[in-house]
Structure 1
Amino acid sequence: MPKKIPADYLVFDDDEDTLKQYNINVKIKGYDCNPIHINPTNFLDPSTGEFDEKGFKDEIILKTQGKNITLVLSDWNMSLPNIFGWDIISMSISAKDKLKDKQFLIYSSDIKNASKYILEKISNEVCKKPNSIDDLSLNNFVSNILDLKIKFWKRDGTQYDEIITLLKKESKTISNIVLNSILSLEKKEVVNFGNANFDGKTISEIFNNPEENGIGLYFVKELMDLSLAHYTKINDDVS
Structure 2
Amino acid sequence: MKQDTKKHLRILLYGPGGSGKSSFIHSVDSVCQNRITCPADACSSGHTVTVTVLFLAYKTYQIEKEVEGQYYPFVFNVMGLESKGGVCEEDIKHAMQGHLKEGYKTPDINDKADILVCVVRADTFMSRGDTLAKMNRITAAARDYGIPQMAILTHIDEACPLVKESIKNVYKSNHIKMKSFQMEHLHNELGIRLTNIFPVKNYHEEMDLNGDIDMVILRALRQIIQIAKDQVKRAQKVGMGG
TM bin, normalised by shorter chain, reads: 0.3 to 0.5
Which structure is richer in relative contact order (CA contacts within 8 A, separation 6 or more)? 2
What is the TM-score when the length of structure 1 is the normalising length? 0.44
Q: Which structure has greater strand proportion? A: 2
Q: Which structure has greater helix proportion? A: 1
- Which protein has the larger Cα radius of gyration, Structure 1 or Structure 2? 1
